[in-house]
Structure 1
Amino acid sequence: MGEHVNIVKPAALLVAATALAAGSTVAAVADSTPDGTRVTSVQQVADHVLAGHPKVLSSSADQVRYDGLTLTKAPQGRITAKDLACDYGHLCMIVKGTKFDFYKCQTWTVSNWTGDGPFTNNQTPGTVAKFFNQDGSVRWTSTAYQAGTATWDPIYSLRPC
């Protein structure tokens, strides 16, 4: 089916031990870590969420790049719908003020995605992105090109293509 990629917060490691055996979880970036530490940049998120994760290609104060995903957080606040530029061939969304830009066809397990946010499916016309419930059933789909607002909870995994 494809590679599963997960990014897990340290406090969630015990809960997600079985998930880690199969992959990791892409967590929505929160304003603070489970231990209450205030997070002000994507680099701090990387320090707390991605420590030791081998898939991280690079990180800076406002961006973390993986093989197939780029996370971007506005340095002085939250990313908004106006910041949702999405390159051709990509599936982009904003979850909790952080832009997720998926560009690799694989299944991504996600956690801590709540609320509503904009999305853009700017992949090849007709490409179907699937968003899944906890039991693996399809919650909703988006056929490229499509843009709108989605409810992220309860999304547990997604496959951009």
Structure 2
Amino acid sequence: MNTFKSAALLVAATALVAGSSVAATAAPAPDGTRVTSLQRTAEQVLGGDAKPVRVTADAVAYDGLTVTEAPRGSASTKALSCGYGHLCMVVNGTKFDFYKCQTWELTNWIGDGPFTNNQTPGTVARFYNKDGSVRWTSTAYESGTATWDPIWSLRPC
């Protein structure tokens, strides 16, 4: 009897876990593709030209950028890990990890959040106003808290 109950519990737990991961994976988009809520969030803040190359429930990967949910406690820069050669920041609860030298168009970057510029020492990341003028810069290695509004584009290198 205990073996039967244990097996039933295992089957129920497996179904619950599988069901929750399927629900979290994606919702159907109007064109029939599946779009995660994280991908929707990323698309709201990236200019319309960025197209994902890989989408999972936990991350959206672009050519030169990975977008994930910000880790809990990421309000402090100590909690914001960032790989060597990368520029990372948290904007509205979403972590952006840039690793390709190009200009990224942005929208809806508002509020304050931590950043870590962990690129090659001396590499300058530039953050731009709407008119294309430089709003502020960060020289690697540097970390801190930034005010994102209004940042309209950035160039990690």
Q: How far does residue 47 in structure 1 lie from its aligned partner after superposition? A: 5.3
C-alpha change, 1:147 and 1:117, in structure 2 (3 Å) is same
2:113 corresponds in structure 1 to 117
2: CA distance, partners of 1:54 / 1:134: 18
For structure 1, list consecutive stretches of 5 or more residues without a partner in the other structure: 1-41
Contact residue 42 and residue 67 of structure 2 kept, 8 A: no
TM-score, length basis structure 2: 0.67
1:102 corresponds in structure 2 to 98
Q: How far does residue 157 in structure 1 lie from its aligned partner after superposition? A: 0.3
Q: Deviations over 1:3-40 (max 9, x none)?
A: xxxxxxxxxxxxxxxxxxxxxxxxxxxxxxxxxxxxxx
Q: Deviations over 1:60-103 (max 9, x none)?
A: 2121111100000159x785445411000000000001000000
Alignment of 1:4-153 (within 5 A): 43-46=36-39, 50=43, 55-73=51-69, 80-81=75-76, 83-153=79-149
- Amino acid across the alignment from 2:147: T
Question: Which structure's relative contact order is higher, taking Cα pairs within 8 Å and 6+ residues apart?
Answer: 1
> What is the percentage of aligned positions where both structures have the same residue?
67
Number of matched residues?
117
2: CA distance, partners of 1:124 / 1:97: 26
Q: How far does residue 44 in structure 1 lie from its aligned partner after superposition? A: 2.0
- Amino acid across the alignment from 1:68: G
Q: RMSD in angstroms over aligned alpha carbons? A: 2.4
Bigger helix share: 2
Contact residue 92 and residue 99 of structure 1 kept, 8 A: yes
C-alpha change, 1:48 and 1:115, in structure 2 (3 Å) is closer
Secondary structure at the aligned position of 1:56 is classed as coil
Secondary structure at the aligned position of 2:106 is classed as strand
TM-score, length basis structure 1: 0.65
For structure 2, list consecutive stretches of 5 or more residues without a partner in the other structure: 1-34, 44-48
Q: Which has the larger radius of gyration?
A: 2
